[in-house]
Structure 1
Amino acid sequence: MSGEYDDLKRRMDGAIAAFKHDLASLRTGRASSNLLDAIQVQAYGTTMPINQVANVSVPEPRMISVSVWDKSMVGAVDRAIRESNLGFNPIVDGTNLRIPLPELNEQRRKELVKISHGYAENARVAVRHVRRDGMDFLKKAEKDGDISEDDHRKRSDQVQKLTDEMISTIDHLLSDKEAEIMQV
């Protein structure tokens, strides 16, 4: 069971890592190059992340700079940024795009909090799916006679405890991000 428990923990940790990545893409008022990580650009007949067609940097606290490597891709990168639902309006300057970060108004802050709640719920669901897989495995192992009923109960409690810890971590990360977003 130790191997299965480690696998469950690894999968739950993966869900939390994905949640942290989603939270990092939410804007809080400070420029960060990972704000654009989730943006996908239509390039060369396929969709690819923005960091595969351009270099993203932060020259100033409230400015993001995107240097597109291929001049023919500037329009596609500009379009992808505008359509990303992040509220950015890039300024095109040759193969560079400058993205000034406007102050977040109260309405946009509330929208970002709402989005972060959605990300948190997705992470909770992912953790619960992993929990369900673990419980199903234990149920099958007991049915097949591989573990006793007492073992099943003990290990189920371990899986539930791990799940509760992960959900608590998600809630903690969410409350930290909410405070960061709502900070004026």
Structure 2
Amino acid sequence: MDEEVKFILDTTKESMDGSISHLEKALIKIRAGKASPMMLSTVMVEYYGSQTPLSQVSNINTPDARTISVQPWEKSLLGEIETAIMNANLGFNPMNNGEMVIINVPPLTEERRIQLVKQAKAEAEDAKVSVRSARQEANKELKALDISEDLLNNAEVDVQELTDTYSKKIDAILANKEAEIMKV
């Protein structure tokens, strides 16, 4: 019976790990004033008749904290890339110098920073909901097992400890992102 309990705990931990990694990916997309190639991860370019991610048709670099450079592998794509970045509605104004597309990342206003913090908090709350639903699922599976009351109580305590640990991790990740966003 202990193996079944251990399996449920491991599955729950895996699910909670997934929530954390999803949160980290979501927070990477929230820009904090510094240029990052990830900012263009959602941009799709028309390439030989199909929509292709920008990263698959060009090199994306950040020469400094406020600039993103996009160097296409084929010069004929420059205009297409410029249009795709504008159409992605990221708030960027790309410039084409004949060799590459250069994007100056504007500094964030205080109002925009506050909006981004709200967005980060919403992502963190989604992660916490996911962790809590993993806890709920684990407790339901544990109750379905034919085990002693003591073993059930101990397992539920273990699940709650996991939930608390992951909630604290989410809070720490959010606090770091908040500080990063609010730093001028």
Identify the TM-score tier after normalising by the shorter chain.
0.7 to 0.9
> CA contact under 8 A between 1:138 and 1:152: conserved in structure 2?
yes
Indicate the structure whose relative CO is greater, using CA pairs within 8 Å and at least 6 residues apart.
2
Match of 1:26, SS? coil
Aligned partner of 2:57 in structure 1 is 53
Q: What is the root-mean-square deviation in Å for CA atoms of aligned residues?
A: 2.2
Of 7-16 and 52-61, deviating more is 52-61
Match of 2:93, SS? coil
Of 25-34 and 167-176, deviating more is 25-34
Match of 1:107, SS? helix
> Structure 2 regions of 5+ residues with no counterpart?
none
Code of the aligned partner of 1:153: N
Distance 1:79 1:128, change over 3 A: farther
Of 159-168 and 26-35, deviating more is 26-35
Q: Percent identity?
A: 41
Q: TM-score, normalised to structure 2's length? A: 0.84
Between the aligned partners of 2:141 and 2:126, the Cα distance in structure 1 is 23
Distance 1:155 1:178, change over 3 A: same
The number of aligned residues is: 179
Distance 1:10 1:69, change over 3 A: same
> CA contact under 8 A between 1:41 and 1:76: conserved in structure 2?
no
Aligned partner of 1:121 in structure 2 is 125
Between the aligned partners of 1:116 and 1:83, the Cα distance in structure 2 is 24
Match of 1:87, SS? coil
> CA contact under 8 A between 1:135 and 1:156: conserved in structure 2?
yes
Aligned partner of 1:180 in structure 2 is 180
> Structure 1 regions of 5+ residues with no counterpart?
none
